[in-house]
Amino acid sequence: MDQAEVMERVVKILTPWAKDEQALASVAMETSILDDLKVNSARLVDVVIAFEDEFDIEIADEDVDSVNSVGDAVQLIQGKLG
Amino acid sequence: MQTSSDAARLPRGEAFWHTCQRCVVALCAPLWVPAAAAVLRFVSGYRIRDLRRVRAEFDRILDEASAPMLICANHLTLIDSLLIAWALRSPWRYLLHPASFPWNTPEVKNFAATPRQRVLAYLAKCIPIERGGGGEETARVLRRVAFLLSAGETALLFPEGGRSRSGRVEPAEGGWGVGRILASLPRCRVLCVYLRGDSQHGWSDLPAPGERFEVRMACIEAKSDLRGVRRSRDLSQQVLRQLAQLEAGYFDDRQ
A65 interface with B at CB cutoff 8 Å: yes
Give the chain A residue whose CA is nearest to the CA of B177: A42
Distance separating the N- and C-terminal Cα atoms of chain B? 40
* Nearest residue on chain A to B161, alpha-carbon basis: A42
Range of the domain at B207: 12-254
Q: Do A52 and B135 touch (CB under 8 A)?
A: no
How confident is the model at residue B161, as a pLDDT?
86
Residues of chain B in contact with residue A45, where contact means CB-CB under 8 angstroms, are: 175-176, 229, 232-233
| DSSP 8-state secondary structure symbol assigned to residue A8 | H
Count of structural domains within chain B: 1
Interface test with A, best of B142, B169, B185, B229 (most A CBs within 10 A): B229
Q: What CATH homologous superfamily does A3-81 map to?
A: ACP-like (1.10.1200.10)
User: In this structure, what CATH number is given to the domain that contains residue B105?
Assistant: 3.40.1130
What is the Cα gyration radius of chain A? 11
| Residue A61 reports pLDDT greater than 70 | yes
- Using CB atoms, pick whichever of B132, B134, B228 lies closest to residue A59: B228
Q: Is residue B139 part of a domain?
A: yes
Burial class (CB in 10 A: 0-12, 13-18, 19+), B12: exposed
Q: Show residues of chain A in contact with B181, CB under 8 Å.
A: none
The model carries a pTM of 0.92
B161–A42: do the CB atoms touch at under 8 Å? yes
pLDDT, chain A, mean: 93
Q: How far is CA B59 from CA A54, B12, B47, B66, B153, in A?
A: 47, 32, 19, 13, 14
What pLDDT does B133 receive? 63
In chain A, % of residues over pLDDT 70: 100
Residue A64: list chain B partners with CB under 8 A: 135, 229
The pLDDT tens digits along chain B (255 residues) read: 333 334 468 888 999 999 999 999 999 999 999 999 999 999 999 999 999 999 999 999 988 877 899 999 999 999 999 999 999 999 999 999 999 999 999 988 889 999 999 999 999 999 999 876 667 888 899 999 999 999 999 999 999 988 999 999 999 888 889 999 999 998 899 999 999 999 999 999 999 999 999 999 999 999 999 999 999 999 999 999 999 999 999 999 988
CB B178 within 8 Å of CB B70 = yes
Q: How far apart are CA A26 and CA B142, in angstroms?
A: 33
Single-letter amino acid code for the residue at B255: Q
Return the domain boundaries, chain A.
Answer: 3-81
ipTM rounded to 2 decimals: 0.88
* B229/A contact by beta carbon, under 8 A: yes
Predicted local distance difference test score (pLDDT) of residue B1: 38
In a domain, B4, yes or no: no
Residue B47: per-residue pLDDT? 98
Q: Which of B131, B173, B232 sits opposite A61 (nearest CB)?
A: B232
Separation between Cα atoms, residue A47 and residue A70, nearest integer Å: 12
Dihedral of CA B35/B41/B107/B71: which sign? positive
Determine the residue among A54, A61, A62, A80 to mutate to test chain B binding: the one whose Cβ has the most chain B Cβ atoms within 10 Å. A61
